[in-house]
Chains A and B, each alone.
Chain A
Amino acid sequence: MSVRDLPVNIRARMALPSWRSLIFLWIPAAAVAASILVPVSYLLIRAESGSAGLLSVVFRIENLDVLFNSIVLAMAVAFCSAVIAVPIAWLTVRTNLPFRRLWSILTVLPLVIPSYIGAYLMISTIGPRGLVQGWLEPLGVERLPSIYGFPGALAVLTLLTFPYTLLSIRTSLLGMDPALEDAARILGHSTWRTFWRVTFPQMRPGLAAGSLLVILYTLRDFGAVAIMRYDSFTRVIYVQYQSLIDRSGAAGLALVLVALTLIILWLERRNQRTNQLYSSIAAKRPPEIMRLGRWKWPALVFMGVIVLISLIIPSANLLFWLLRGFNAGETISTYWDETFNSLWVSAIAAIVILVAALPISILAVRRPNRLTTILERVSYLGFALPGVVIALSLVFFGANYAIILYQTLPMLIFAYMVLFLPQAVGAAQAALVQVHPNLEEAGRSLGKAPWTVFLKVTFPIVRPGLFSGIGLVFLTAMKELPTTLILSPIGYKTLATSVWGAVTGAFFAQAAAPALLLIVVSSVPMAILILRRDL
């Protein structure tokens, strides 16, 4: 939406922010954006303190290759995620697909599987000599074609990240005004044509927001590419950290990632400007449900296959580890504390981060200008940096300048905010663009206070979007590892850290139990959100 689309009275108001918007919007938004710049400023400090060798580490010709690898992978993962997510979103929101609530829950859960676990499970299933090869061995299959490299990395990351796109598109679909489709059909469009001309464009803000998250996630992911042996840029950063001597080299490389992210954000923004965004003006009706008829069966097969390979097979594999361990006499402890800690810190983080995201999102949608665009784009920066980079930057600032907060829960949640803010900002924005300012203006002209207008008018429309933001942050916080290891209060264990602690010592049965718990307990809040139709 551009400024000239807004009613004149709103445009006039934009000239001078009221004290209320200053306190509730501008100051919090600026504070949140500034905190995202903490890790970037750390990287500048570290890189600046580097030796002369820094340049030779950062500007190696080989780095261009791996940077290119990273970009190609990110684009491919975003494309494949969209191909999976668009039909799922449409089928679960807009059709009479049987069990669509259940499908909705199951298809977001892959997001909670840590990528190194997902990759490891995929290799033990369809690796050259994995489980499937074992079944085919009697048929004379000695080894399956290798999935290592690009195909493996693409497959794992797509299966773990398509829920980003899915949740964002769901928001757009849930908030969409069915009147638009009615109009198209009255004008004589077929169902198919209506989908492409009206429904799909409505999904685009969600699709764009989700794809951006997928791209940035892929750029910063280390676990999947490492196990799938795909030389991405994060591996180069990691090699620098492993060698330990020269953190300035790693910082310099991470700054390259920051620069790449800025370019992507700028390109995405330009693309957004050329898109017309849609707002619902009429009172919202629930979305219209399409009857699938005999298309029900292929739709069910499609959903089944996706859930099978993204969730059921990994879970079954974990269960197999667990049972095998039991048989061998492994002792598996209970994980009450870890489960509670995971749920608690992730839920708090989800709520705090959504609240932190609101001022930026509202400003970016309602006061679109250069400054608010910068605020909004900056909020994405932390998401593209490897977790260990964010963690070390907060170690540097925390241990030296905020020792009271260092390695406490508030600090951990702050770290999560730096990492996960864009998930909430993206979801909130995709929801907010669907509220036409006329609606709020009407509320205000009836003499209601801005808060009341927000609660009575805006909130009901944006609710699915806000909850999808909460859901996204919750699921990714559940599996977050590097900052949790480094910044949590000492001795604070989560399910994700337990899985990691066991896997690194090759204790697979002990890793399987918390990994399964991670999936099961995450499904509960997601189920509540989806069953309450909040999401």
Chain B
Amino acid sequence: MKKVLVFISLLILVLMVTGCSSATADETVIIYSGRSESLVAPVIELFTASTGIIAEVRYGGTAEMAATLLEEGQNSPADVFWAQDPGGLGAVAAEGMFAQLPAEILNAVPANFRSPEGTWVGVTGRARVVVYNTSMVNPADLPEDIWDFTDPKWDGKIGWAPTNGSFQVMVTAMRNSWGEEKTRDWLTGILANNPVVYENNTGIVAGVEAGEVEVGFVNHYYLYRFLAEEGESFEARNYFLPSGGPGSLVMVAGAGVLESSQNKEAAEAFIGFLLSREAQEYFTTKTFEYPMMAELPLPVELAPLESLNNIQINLADLDDLAGTVTLLQAVGALP
């Protein structure tokens, strides 16, 4: 037994040493990423290759990472928070935890895709689209506006994900541009059509392809992942709603520098790199997201940003997620 005890205490000692040895050098930037590793790790490698700054990344869900930052407060080891959606950025910004970004970073991004206080910037854009099953739906029969899915002919044919952050941002945009009344009517109209509830965008795309439902409300880029793995025979495609209402909202994944960072220069260098031509090209061609640089050519699959016609919605106004959740609970879309 003594041997066992000695062994265990040695193990714990080794653990302590290995656990604490990750000392922070000057040229290291610590990133909390709400974005998936498979999507963004290559860009982070490019950053290190081009600047020599080592990037250490903690991956997690955007909401969980934001909550972690809020609990850490001033003691956060993070330098940069890179979030999947404006909701996560807004929550951290609301606590005053972001530092002011320098003008050259802010100016690299269109005004409606960054915080008006200059605390975070959009890095890439993602559009809300309708994904449809190609063997069950003729795209010519798809409506102009997301409002039209309240028509009873869509009964049982719609997939949605009310717990999903991007969906909730879209509903927030509806409240902004349509008003509470019309948004509530839309939600109850969709609910009357017995939508199938999915956990996330991925589940919807898979469900649409399998024919569980005919259409689904998703972010545009998930489809291209499926196409890459399953080939062109994959029976689902994106439909960009031509009316340009909140149903085709363009949101951003964005980033900000933490006020508590001891290493703001490296952190700003990282966000600067994300907005560089090299990184923006990667996002456009590899993850099929919208670049923040207007002059970059878009892949053929993506509808041009102007045609989505959402420019009048300011993303920073979309931080009232709590109000949206309350509304979704009130109409019975969320438990």
Contact = CB atoms under 8 A, between A and B. Distances in A.
A134 B177 CA distance: 43
A324 B329 contact: no
Contact of B212 (A116, A129, A247): A129
B140 to A, nearest CB: 24
B36 interface: yes
A231 interface: yes
Contact of A239 (B39, B76, B203, B325): B325
Interface in B46-64: 56-61, 63-64
Contacts of B30: 490
B202 A239 contact: no
A295 to B, nearest CB: 41
A406 B334 CA distance: 35
A355 B12 CA distance: 12
Interface in A490-517: 490-491, 497-498, 501-510
Contact of A388 (B18, B64, B321): B64
B75 A244 contact: no
A497 B41 CA distance: 14
Contact of B202 (A240, A391, A482, A506): A506
B63 A410 contact: no
Contacts of A406: 75, 77
B60 A244 contact: no
Contact of B59 (A351, A404, A501): A501
Given A490-B22, A507-B38, A508-B229, A400 B75 contact: yes
B87 interface: yes
A451 B57 CA distance: 46
Contacts of B296: none
A127 interface: yes
A525 B254 CA distance: 43
A242 B335 contact: no
A227 interface: yes
B165 interface: yes
A108 B59 CA distance: 30
B195 to A, nearest CB: 11
A242 B73 CA distance: 19
A120 B207 CA distance: 11
A392 interface: yes
A436 interface: no
A197 B198 CA distance: 48
Interface string B194-207: 00111111110110
A257 to B, nearest CB: 14
Given A127-B212, A407-B77, A455-B1, A242 B63 contact: yes
Contact of A247 (B1, B58, B70): B70
Nearest to B320: A245
A243 interface: yes
A64 to B, nearest CB: 12
A510 B63 contact: no
Range class of the B interface residue count: 35 or more
Interface in B1-31: 1, 8, 11-12, 15-16, 18-20, 22, 30
B230 interface: yes
A170 interface: no
Contact of A396 (B8, B71, B87, B329): B71
Interface in A374-419: 388, 391-392, 395-396, 399-400, 403-404, 406-411, 413
A355 B229 contact: no
A129 B235 CA distance: 13
Interface in A436-491: 451, 454-455, 482, 485-486, 489-491
B178 to A, nearest CB: 20
B91 interface: yes
Nearest to B326: A243
Interface in B200-257: 200-203, 205-206, 210-212, 222, 225-226, 228-231
Contacts of A124: 206, 210
Contacts of A395: 68, 71-72
Nearest to A502: B38
A276 to B, nearest CB: 32
A30 B94 CA distance: 40
B321 A486 contact: no
A130 interface: yes
B122 interface: no
A409 B71 contact: no
Nearest to A222: B199
A506 B209 CA distance: 14
Interface of B: 1, 8, 11-12, 15-16, 18-20, 22, 30, 36-39, 56-61, 63-64, 66-68, 70-73, 75-77, 87-88, 91, 94, 163, 165, 168, 196-203, 205-206, 210-212, 222, 225-226, 228-231, 321-322, 324-325, 329, 334-335
Q: Top 4 nearest A-B pairs by Cβ distance?
A: A408-B19, A505-B36, A409-B19, A501-B37
14 contacts: A62-B329, A227-B199, A239-B325, A241-B64, A321-B229, A324-B230, A352-B12, A396-B71, A407-B77, A410-B19, A485-B60, A504-B36, A506-B202, A509-B229
Given A128-B210, A399-B71, A489-B19, 9 more contacts: A127-B210, A243-B321, A245-B94, A395-B68, A490-B22, A497-B59, A502-B36, A507-B38, A507-B229
